[in-house]
């Protein structure tokens, strides 16, 4: 299986982040843990009921992080898929909730509603025909016929896209699917959630700075450790890229590299998934720590700010 596994971004206030993605967008908090490399910071995972690959948007909420600057070498927009008939519902909801958004437009023949989260992260809902029966989270306060069905994809803003395109098609399982102006679309055939990558070329565009409201990295799927190892071999031998050794992230196992356009890419295994340390029915309710941090639980809990949601 190809496509996006998850996308990780940088947020500011953790409670505000939790409130927006659960109460306003209706996603499920699938996992509440910490940044394994910076355990004084939460790592919050939002997705569908079971946290399927292709539905997971995660955040490092660094309260004092400077605001990021959009530009070349970063992900420009993260796109979710919703039923085609739900676009009007969401436009009305954003007016009601005071969410900054733009007029509905057409891209590649699909209706798109762009908006931003409280940290200024660029997001969009894309109306996709036939998504009504796909998995979702039905207890998020959004009528099921309008609820989010995971990622549609992500748009990258790059100075030059040729070498990135080669990695998408040679290593990550995507095929070129067409152009619209400066944007080239790639799709992972047979994949629903997270099956679209768009490259927007913008030669001479100001380089982006990562910060609050920016995507930190885009993670792609590997079904198994063996599939991931083969992808790593292609990146090193065929594309001459530096790729990390495999790192255990508890819910998946990952390798990382910076693609030629500047965006950090990750390849994460589908296994073992988010139910490895708590039942599906109670995902996201308790602070979960990896075994190597359990001995520091008291100290970590004392540092983390309590998560609070608006009434």
CATH number for the domain including 171? Answer: 3.10.180.10
| 310 located within any domain | no
Q: Return the half-sphere exposure (C-beta side, CA atoms, 13 A cut-off) of residue 16.
A: 13
| 311 located within any domain | no
CA neighbor of 235 nearest in space, from 172, 160, 155, 159: 172
- Could you tell me the CA-to-CA distances from 13 to 32, 45, 119, 156, 289 in Å, in that order? 15, 15, 9, 25, 21
Domain that holds residue 158: 4-303
| 241 located within any domain | yes
Q: Report the pLDDT value the prediction gives residue 170, as an integer from 0 to 100.
A: 96
| 43 located within any domain | yes
In this structure, are residues 1 and 191 in contact, taking their beta carbons and an 8 Å threshold?
yes
Intervals of the chain under pLDDT 50: none
CA neighbor of 200 nearest in space, from 117, 116, 77: 77
Total number of domains in the chain:
1
Global pTM value: 0.96
Sheet containing 4-11: order of strands: 28-35, 38-47, 56-61, 4-11, 215-222, 264-269, 253-258, 247-248
| 208 located within any domain | yes
Rounded to 5 degrees, what angle do the CA atoms 86, 122, 304 make? 105
Lookup: tokens for 260:
């030629």
């Amino acid at each position: 299986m190809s496509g996006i596994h998850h996308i990780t971004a940088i947020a500011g206030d953790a409670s505000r982040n939790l409130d927006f993605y659960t109460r306003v967008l209706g996603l499920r908090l699938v996992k509440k843990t910490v940044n394994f490399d910076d355990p004084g910071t939460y790592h919050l995972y939002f997705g569908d009921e079971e946290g399927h690959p292709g539905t997971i948007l995660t955040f490092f909420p660094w309260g004092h992080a400077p605001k990021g600057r959009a530009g070349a070498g970063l992900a420009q927009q993260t796109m979710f898929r919703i039923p085609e008939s739900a676009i009007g519902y969401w436009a009305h909801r954003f007016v009601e909730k005071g969410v900054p958004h733009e007029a509905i437009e057409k891209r590649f023949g699909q209706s798109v509603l762009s908006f931003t989260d409280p940290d200024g992260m660029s997001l969009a809902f894309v109306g996709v025909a036939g998504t009504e029966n796909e998995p979702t989270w039905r207890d998020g306060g959004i009528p099921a016929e309008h609820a989010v069905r995971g990622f549609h994809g992500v748009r990258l803003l790059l100075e030059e896209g040729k070498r990135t395109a080669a990695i998408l098609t040679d290593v990550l399982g995507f095929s070129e699917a067409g152009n619209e102006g400066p944007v080239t679309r790639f799709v992972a055939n047979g994949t629903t959630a997270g099956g679209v990558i768009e490259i927007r070329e913008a030669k001479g565009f100001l380089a982006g700075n990562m910060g609050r409201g920016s995507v930190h990295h885009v993670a792609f799927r590997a079904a198994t450790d063996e599939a991931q190892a083969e992808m790593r071999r292609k990146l090193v031998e065929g594309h001459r890229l530096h790729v990390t050794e495999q790192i255990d992230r508890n819910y998946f196992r990952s390798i990382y590299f910076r693609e030629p356009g500047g965006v950090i890419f990750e390849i994460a295994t589908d296994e073992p998934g988010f139910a490895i340390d708590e039942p599906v029915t109670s995902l996201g309710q308790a602070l979960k720590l990896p075994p190597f941090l359990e001995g520091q639980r008291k100290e970590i809990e004392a540092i983390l700010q309590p998560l609070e949601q608006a009434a």
